[in-house]
Amino acid sequence: MIPLVSPAALRRRGIMGMNERNVGYIGKYNPRRFYPLVDNKLKTKKAAQERGIVVPELYGVVEYQHQVRHVTTLLEGLESFVIKPAQGSGGKGILVIVGRNGDRFIKSSGVEIGASDVRRHVSNVLAGLHSLGGRNDIAMIEALIDFDPSLARFSYEGVPDIRVIAFRGVPVMAMMRCATHASDGKANLHQGAVGVGLDIGSGAAVRAVQHGELVEIHPDTQAVFATLTIPHWERVLDLAASCVEMTGLQYLGADVVLDRLRGPMLLELNARPGLAIQVANQAGLRHRLAAAAEIAEQTQEHDARIALARQRFGA
Amino acid sequence: MISSRTRIEILSGCLLLVGVGLMLYKVFVLGFPLIPGAYRDVWTIEGKISFKPAQGPVEVELLLPEGLAGWEIVDEHFASSGFGFDIRDADDKRWAVWSRSELREAATLYYKIQAYRLSEQGLADRSARPASEPMLEQDQMVAVDRLIEVLSAKSSGPERFTALLIQALGPNSTDPDAQFLLSTWEEEPYRVILAVLGRAGVPAYPIRGIRLEDGRRRQTLSALLEIYNGSEWVVFDPLTAKAGLPEDFFVWQRRGQEVLSVVGGRDSRLEFALVSNSLPARTVAVMEDQAEQFALLDFSIYSLPVEQQGVFKGLLLIPVAALVVVIMRLLVGVRTSGTFMPILIALAFMQTTLWLGLAIFLGLVSAGLVIRSWLSHMNLLLVSRISAVVIVVIFLMAALAIASYRMGLDQVLSVTYFPTIILAWTIERMSILWEEEGAHEVLVQGGGSLLVAVFAYAAMSSALIGHLTFNFPELTLSLLGVILLLGKYTGYRLTELYRFRDMGDPR
């Protein structure tokens, strides 16, 4: 017998389904014409910089195949960097170089690769291998995030990122995604990363879930999730809410990373944030979204909305 | 201002009501059958008269068929661009007459009927007539007499004589007189048979008609022979020497002279295109009785040429498949690779049959994946890689077709019904999915697509659904209404009840 939950119970808990998300939120609040801004990380970065939102530094861009040969000159003097497709989906095609060994580059996993491997990666990115719908793409070279050491113990190999869902300028729900050995250093929950639900009020961990099961400690680093509190939480929420104003998309997911020196930085935006955040928080989105709509009606003030949200959704 | 949801609900409701209402009207008032009953083969016979202009005014006369031997003519159409047209009744025969004062270039006239055989009865009996003496040259006369003498010695009566005569004048004949006669006659061989029968004193007349073959084009008029054996008329096939009216023979005319006469034209030809279509018997009857009375019937699919009817028969099934996809994706939550790829696969299954189609599809895709993984090592640009996959798929299809044909497995030839580009894209997507998400995701999405395709196939190949969509195309409106309504469905998907299984009421 396949274990199923009754739809009435889900409704009582306020769990949102895919159809409701598509019809009720994405279709209704996210006009299609604003999508290119979030689907293209280069555009997102430029728009964010204009508004003073902190993003990882951009070292350079490779746009055409003939530039691929000269990519090593672009990389000269860079000890560490990240190469990613501007329109990559699901964290695909990201090459992380953490250091150098003479002519060779050291990947985050410790494997050394040569300059030709880097060029081939860039060439694949341009051909659209990692991009939505296989379209031709642009390769971005940006600074490696020197992530906050207080969070390092919660992630295995990969960078832990914080996903905040904001609706009409109100932060609604948040989680941290921690890579594990099982997820191969990727922060995708369905591949086995741990999703840690975060309290909107304080940034403290509420509960952690791996493969749909509650967990207490990180399976690889043994860090206890109950001790996790996101530093600079106020700024994380502020950043997520600003993105709603920046993009015009009323319902979006902001992926934020914490840099040791520069604090919360916007990594990317998502116009169709997934539903897994509900599992990580063991809570439904529907009631919170209804409350967020009330808050948005109540005040136009950016900071007031965040304050009300922290009050309302905090533990 | 009403909300968009209410608007959609009202619109869907109207579409649903219109569709179902029209269907009920056709069922209860016009008597269309709601469930498929007995089917009847309705033949569409399209006659094409083509000729080149000669001097002076043009007059074309075509003898129209009467519906003999149980044949019923349902519908009759004439196309006569630029010609004056009239139907003339003379001696209880009907003639179509096209006329024009002057003609400069080659012309084509069309005459189309739809006919079916109501009963397997033979030709109505007719009174005896005397045999008619043929006009023969001296040397022909001698040969005919010698042939009659040889055959009479072997035969017991007019019927046996006729059968032997047909064999003697057939293609395998060795009789020198028969061969001489055939070589001196300029007309079709059955005329020789008629002449010999006439000389032998057996009353014999031709029956003109069409040998029915589905999908046949450029068919010409054929002839049967009718002889009087002293008590009744017996029909013979001049090709096979079989007695009796063949089943697949549409009788155009009995005993008359020419079917077509063209004055003021030359090189005239009369050719037929034939299509058979299986229609519910009751629908045929309804069409016959009421086509003129109800405008609604005039605008039904049945008013189209039969070839187009066949096309629509397939097209009208696609909304059903679309509904299956919508239900499976929105209500059940099955993940498929590509939104409508399952429909395309299901359409291919319609041609290949299910199990064979599944086997071919899985075989082609797995072979393609192996080759694609090899291609990916070559680090090609995307467009050339996909084009390479397309070419590889075509080669695989050809190889499969040739190999199976050699082994005598004709059914596998239907591999050509799989859309090549779709297969290539499937292989490409699956292989990218494999690299990025792993084999598990390939199985989930590939399996999902196949599952939906199988359901869509089951729906499309159901006799009841085929009958309903074809006879009540207005139901497509109802389907549209349902699909629009589902487009506003915000409830949970079945798979989400599993995904969020631990998120129910706190324990």
Domain regions of chain A by residue span: 7-52+148-313, 58-142
Residue A10 in contact with partner chain B when CB distance is under 8 A: yes
CA–CA separation, B281 and B266 (whole Å)? 42
With an 8 Å Cβ cutoff, are B497 and A10 in contact?
yes
Report whether pLDDT(A106) > 80: yes
Question: Which tens digits make up the pLDDT trace of B377-389?
Answer: 776 777 788 788 8
Report whether pLDDT(A166) > 90: yes
Instruction: Give the mean model confidence (pLDDT) for residues B329-342.
Output: 86
A123 contacts in B (CB within 8 Å)? 379
CA distance B355 to chain A (A): 28
Residues of B contacting chain A (CB within 8 angstroms): 330, 333, 379, 381-382, 428, 432, 436-437, 487-494, 496-505
Residue A120 in contact with partner chain B when CB distance is under 8 A: yes
With an 8 Å Cβ cutoff, are A23 and B500 in contact?
no
pLDDT score, position B143: 76
pLDDT score, position B128: 66
Return the SS3 of B189: helix
Question: Which tens digits make up the pLDDT trace of B224-236?
Answer: 888 887 777 788 8
With an 8 Å Cβ cutoff, are A5 and B503 in contact?
yes
pLDDT score, position B48: 82
pLDDT score, position B188: 72
CA–CA separation, A119 and A71 (whole Å)? 7
Instruction: Give the mean model confidence (pLDDT) for residues A249-264.
Output: 91
Query: Which of A9, A130, A136 has its CB closest to that of B505?
Result: A9
Tokens representing B344? 């395309």
| Average pLDDT along chain B | 79
Instruction: Give the mean model confidence (pLDDT) for residues A25-32.
Output: 90
Return the SS3 of A83: strand
Instruction: Give the mean model confidence (pLDDT) for residues A261-275.
Output: 90
ipTM value: 0.80
Q: B132 falls in which pLDDT band (50, 70, 90)?
A: confident
Higher pLDDT, B282 or B109: B109
Of the listed ranges A13-22, A167-176, B122-131, B157-166, the least confidently predicted one is B122-131
pLDDT score, position B324: 94
CA–CA separation, A129 and A131 (whole Å)? 6
CA–CA separation, B210 and B232 (whole Å)? 24
Is the backbone of residue A86 left (phi > 0), alpha (psi -120 to 50) or beta?
alpha
Q: For residue B457, which of B311, B334, B343 has the smallest C-alpha distance?
A: B343
Query: Which of B432, B436, B496 has its CB closest to that of A17?
Result: B496
With an 8 Å Cβ cutoff, are B436 and A92 in contact?
yes
Of the listed ranges A3-12, A206-215, B45-54, B75-84, the least confidently predicted one is B75-84
| Count of C-beta atoms within a 10 Å radius of residue A83 | 22
Tokens representing A82? 């990240």
Report whether pLDDT(B367) > 60: yes
CA angle A103, A105, A108 (to 5 degrees): 165
Report whether pLDDT(A173) > 90: yes
Report whether pLDDT(A220) > 80: yes
- Look up residue B257 and give its DSSP letter: S
Domain boundaries, chain B: 313-472
CA–CA separation, B313 and B466 (whole Å)? 8
Report whether pLDDT(B345) > 60: yes
Higher pLDDT, B65 or A36: A36
Higher pLDDT, A288 or B52: A288
B379 contacts in A (CB within 8 Å)? 120, 123-124
Residue A9 in contact with partner chain B when CB distance is under 8 A: yes
Instruction: Give the mean model confidence (pLDDT) for residues B49-53.
Output: 82
Question: Which tens digits make up the pLDDT trace of B231-278?
Answer: 777 888 877 777 777 777 888 877 766 778 788 777 888 888 777 776
* Architecture label for domain A7-52+148-313: 2-Layer Sandwich (3.30)
The per-residue b/e assignment along B50-78, b for 16 or more CB within 10 angstroms, e otherwise, is: bbebeeeebbbbbbbbebbbebbbbeeeb
With an 8 Å Cβ cutoff, are A90 and B436 in contact?
yes
CA angle B97, B99, B102 (to 5 degrees): 160
Pairing assessment for the beta strands B71-79 and A213-215 based on DSSP bridges:
unpaired
